[in-house]
Chains A and B, each alone.
Chain A
Amino acid sequence: MRSWALRQLKESAGQYAASAAVVAIVSAFAVLLLETTEVFSAAVASAGLDAVDAVRMGLGTVTVVFLGIAVVVAVLVISNTFSMVYAGRVRDIALLRLIGATGKQVRRTSLIDGVAVGLTGAVLGIVAGVLISLAAIAGISASTGAELSFIFVPQLILVPLIGSLVATVAASYAGSREVSRVAPIEATRSSAEGQRLPERAARGRSITGVVLFMAGLGLLGLGTVVGIAAPVGLLIAFPGGVLSIAGVIIGSPVLIPPVVALVARLLPRSAANRLAAANLLHDPVRTARTVISVVIGVTLLTMFTVAGEMFIAATRDYLGQGDDVASVIDGLLQAVYALTSFSVIVAAIGLGSTLSMSVLQRRRQIGVLRALGLTTRQTRRMLLAESLLVTVVGVIVGLVLGTLYGFVGANSILGSQYFGPPLLPPVFLIVLVVGALAFGALASLAPGRRASGIAPAVALREA
């Protein structure tokens, strides 16, 4: 069993590259955030200011929030990889089950993959993070004359290492849930099935998702109302935001596909579009995970932008003071964009690798389509449409959620003095939409090229 697992791991190494990269990026991000906290605190302390605790607290919160979000996105992306890799092993697993392996044993082998990916990514990420920190510290010291130096604390290694292992093992466990249920009989069946939640699990998920989302909305509403009376609404609204986004994530395999179907219906009725939609809807779990990884980034960007704009408007209109506050908030927004970019990069890698792996899995199907008359151009368009559908749905859902959170967030703090409508700057909207479309198109390039290179004769060769 162990040697089988190790052999499988070796064969899947290429497919895990993207996941290891994702882990490395998040680990490096963790090192950068932690080191920033240390260096900043030391600088404040050496300047003789007694704000050290406040600085630590503030940067610590930033670290927890943004790192936490990046980790959630990474886990979504990596679970997708694992579930697709494992889906490719269905026949093998069924054979193992046939000769007596239990579902539990099969599941345990997934740990090996999880640990391998987590360890590889963490080591690379920690090294990269430390190197970037050293370079940044040297750069800042040289340009500002400040006496900054690299500070080593054990957390720099422990946090990303342990975090990566926990996250990848959790993701591999989530990804292996489907295959550990593989019945021995499936050794004789084809492995091209999409992942569907069993009827009961789907119902359970959608109910849990909707209940959490509704409860979250309730708190968001309450927070807004309280915010009109006193600036403490955020204390109520914040858990509401967390609950509602958790509801969206949990319910996503049930809630996202209908949105995909709706958007797909608005596209021109070409073969490429129609097939793309069918492919996405055929595997609601995978599609939901990919969409959600986009949703999270867009939600964050939108939320901070909307709240930031509302703060600027409030200070201008109500307090009558303008430009200083505006430039401070603009600066904060830039920092937030930079912090969010890590999650966005992770989502982009996830989209590209999910598409690539789905092409690998669908070689035969694509061969059939080519034999039946799908041109190479149509093949590339099909992948482009899949990618764009995911991004567009992600952007729509993210914009709705982000605008809601930004609006509630701002009013729950400011509402008692200035209750304002949500503000979504057109420039932001344009950059977001254009950026997302470009990112979707880019992610589909390599998988599209690979798909259009599949020879139609593949369909006739026996697997």
Chain B
Amino acid sequence: MPNPLSEPLPPRSATPAASSPAAQVVALTKTFGDGDSAVHALRGVDLAIQRARITAVMGQSGSGKSTLLQTMAGLEPPTSGRVLLGDQEITGMNDETLTRLRRTRMGFVFQSFNLLPALDALENIRLPFLLAGTGVSADTEAWIEILLTRLGLADRAHHRPQQLSGGQQQRVAIARALVTRPDVLFADEPTGSLDSASSRDVLELLRAASGEWGQTIVLVTHDPVAASAADRVVRMSDGVIVDDWAGGSAESIAERMLEAGAR
């Protein structure tokens, strides 16, 4: 595979004030079900996502990481609290508006890739524009070209997902998430189904997107290696954030998680 990082990413056209958060949740709670069977997945979370940074959300299985990500992305309504994208309140928005917001200002990468099997790689990457019903501008075409080359997919553009390896599928999914240059890219365990070599590729890509192009990324993971790509790590436990630090090497993150778990 050609080194995906050999070409620089183009600079972001307009960089908003770096100080204001790209997304934010305030006193967020989320309860599934009610009565005896109620599950309190989030019990009061405050978190501001910094622009152009990778924020890793860690924690044991069931600690509420995915729920936090889904609520931040407007995929699940919160039980109480506020969710903001930039300075726009998305809590209580109707489905149509939220859907448009996701389409234009958010990107998603899932653990199981979730490419559409009926579309080839290039069509999958163009999907956000198809959904928006807007044509693909010459500028964007050039951007897609760059993404394809940088992600090592240039000769795979017309392959169906089934004909691609897991790592390749995930790179297509990342291209699909980056193609609209979203305000925030949400990734839930993006390396969870990949071998270590493919994981490394994916993490390098996310690093490059944030470092060179200023992409804001929320990365949910329980893997210290994945979290080591982040500029900041928050740890969740039982629906609340219990730790928040600048991250570091995989070893140091693993150690800090272990210590916390032992306490």
Would A373 and B99 count as touching, CB distance under 8 A?
yes
A-B contact count (CB 8 A): 86
Stretch at the interface among B79-87, B112-120, B207-215, B226-234: B112-120
Query: Which residue of A has the minimal Cβ distance to B129?
Result: A271
With beta carbons under 8 angstroms apart, the residue of A193, A369, A376 that contacts B116 is: A369
Would B116 and A278 count as touching, CB distance under 8 A?
yes
**Is A155 part of the contact surface with B, judged by Cβ < 8 Å?**
no
Interface centre among B66, B110, B132, B176 (most CB of A within 10 A): B110
Query: Which residue of B has the minimal Cβ distance to A281?
Result: B118
User: Which B86-112 residues have a C-beta within 8 angstroms of A?
Assistant: 95-96, 99-100, 102-104, 108, 110-112
User: Which B185-230 residues have a C-beta within 8 angstroms of A?
Assistant: 188
Q: How far in angstroms is the closest Cβ of chain A from B121?
A: 13
Expressed in whole angstroms, the Cα–Cα distance for A278 and B128 within the complex equals 16
Would A371 and B102 count as touching, CB distance under 8 A?
yes
Chain B interfacial positions (CB closer than 8 Å to A): 66, 69-70, 73, 75-76, 95-96, 99-100, 102-104, 108, 110-112, 114, 116-119, 123, 127-128, 130-133, 162, 176, 188
4 closest A-B pairs by beta carbon, nearest first, are A373-B103, A282-B118, A278-B118, A457-B75
**Is A270 part of the contact surface with B, judged by Cβ < 8 Å?**
yes
**Is A215 part of the contact surface with B, judged by Cβ < 8 Å?**
no
With beta carbons under 8 angstroms apart, the residue of B69, B123, B128 that contacts A372 is: B128
B102: which A residues are within 8 A, CB to CB?
A: 371-373, 456
Expressed in whole angstroms, the Cα–Cα distance for A275 and B129 within the complex equals 13
Q: How far in angstroms is the closest Cβ of chain A from B263?
A: 29
Q: Can you sample 12 A-B contacts with CB below 8 Å? A: A190-B112, A193-B117, A194-B117, A270-B133, A271-B133, A371-B73, A373-B99, A376-B95, A457-B70, A460-B69, A460-B110, A462-B111
With beta carbons under 8 angstroms apart, the residue of B66, B75, B112 that contacts A455 is: B75
User: Which A218-232 residues have a C-beta within 8 angstroms of B?
Assistant: none
Interface centre among A190, A364, A378 (most CB of B within 10 A): A190
B111: which A residues are within 8 A, CB to CB?
A: 462
Q: How far in angstroms is the closest Cβ of chain B from A203?
A: 20
**Is A431 part of the contact surface with B, judged by Cβ < 8 Å?**
no
Would A278 and B119 count as touching, CB distance under 8 A?
yes
Known: A369-B116, A373-B131, A373-B132. A460 touches B99 (CB 8 A): no
**Is A463 part of the contact surface with B, judged by Cβ < 8 Å?**
yes
B75: which A residues are within 8 A, CB to CB?
A: 371, 455-457, 460
B108: which A residues are within 8 A, CB to CB?
A: 371-372, 459-460
Would A374 and B99 count as touching, CB distance under 8 A?
yes
B116: which A residues are within 8 A, CB to CB?
A: 275, 278, 365, 368-369
Known: A271-B131, A274-B130, A460-B66. A370 touches B112 (CB 8 A): no
**Is A417 part of the contact surface with B, judged by Cβ < 8 Å?**
no
Q: How far in angstroms is the closest Cβ of chain A from B221?
A: 14
With beta carbons under 8 angstroms apart, the residue of B69, B100, B119 that contacts A373 is: B100
Expressed in whole angstroms, the Cα–Cα distance for A135 and B114 within the complex equals 55
Query: Which residue of A has the minimal Cβ distance to B107?
Result: A372
Expressed in whole angstroms, the Cα–Cα distance for A377 and B114 within the complex equals 22
Expressed in whole angstroms, the Cα–Cα distance for A73 and B103 within the complex equals 42
Chain A interfacial positions (CB closer than 8 Å to B): 190, 192-194, 270-271, 274-275, 278-279, 281-282, 364-365, 368-378, 455-457, 459-463
Expressed in whole angstroms, the Cα–Cα distance for A275 and B127 within the complex equals 10
B130: which A residues are within 8 A, CB to CB?
A: 271, 274-275
Query: Which residue of B has the minimal Cβ distance to A274?
Result: B130
Expressed in whole angstroms, the Cα–Cα distance for A354 and B86 within the complex equals 43
Expressed in whole angstroms, the Cα–Cα distance for A378 and B133 within the complex equals 11
Would A462 and B131 count as touching, CB distance under 8 A?
no
With beta carbons under 8 angstroms apart, the residue of B73, B112, B119 that contacts A463 is: B112
With beta carbons under 8 angstroms apart, the residue of B104, B123, B131, B188 that contacts A374 is: B131
Query: Which residue of A has the minimal Cβ distance to B188?
Result: A460
A270: which B residues are within 8 A, CB to CB?
A: 133
B96: which A residues are within 8 A, CB to CB?
A: 375-377
Expressed in whole angstroms, the Cα–Cα distance for A458 and B76 within the complex equals 10
Query: Which residue of B has the minimal Cβ distance to A190?
Result: B112
Interface centre among B95, B128, B132 (most CB of A within 10 A): B95
A271: which B residues are within 8 A, CB to CB?
A: 130-133
Q: How far in angstroms is the closest Cβ of chain A from B41?
A: 12
A377: which B residues are within 8 A, CB to CB?
A: 96
Known: A455-B75, A457-B70, A459-B114. A375 touches B100 (CB 8 A): yes
Would B114 and A364 count as touching, CB distance under 8 A?
yes
Query: Which residue of A has the minimal Cβ distance to B162?
Result: A193
Expressed in whole angstroms, the Cα–Cα distance for A371 and B123 within the complex equals 17
Expressed in whole angstroms, the Cα–Cα distance for A420 and B63 within the complex equals 78
Would B118 and A462 count as touching, CB distance under 8 A?
no
Expressed in whole angstroms, the Cα–Cα distance for A20 and B128 within the complex equals 41
Expressed in whole angstroms, the Cα–Cα distance for A115 and B132 within the complex equals 47
Would B99 and A375 count as touching, CB distance under 8 A?
yes
A190: which B residues are within 8 A, CB to CB?
A: 112
A374: which B residues are within 8 A, CB to CB?
A: 99, 131
Known: A460-B69, A460-B70. A373 touches B95 (CB 8 A): no
Query: Which residue of A has the minimal Cβ distance to B186?
Result: A460
Query: Which residue of A has the minimal Cβ distance to B192?
Result: A462
B110: which A residues are within 8 A, CB to CB?
A: 368, 459-460
Known: A459-B110, A460-B75, A462-B112. A373 touches B117 (CB 8 A): no
Would A194 and B118 count as touching, CB distance under 8 A?
yes
Known: A456-B75, A460-B66. A372 touches B117 (CB 8 A): no
Q: How far in angstroms is the closest Cβ of chain A from B110?
A: 6
B117: which A residues are within 8 A, CB to CB?
A: 192-194, 282, 365
Query: Which residue of B has the minimal Cβ distance to A371?
Result: B108
Q: How far in angstroms is the closest Cβ of chain A from B118?
A: 4
Expressed in whole angstroms, the Cα–Cα distance for A371 and B186 within the complex equals 11
Known: A271-B133, A460-B66. A373 touches B112 (CB 8 A): no
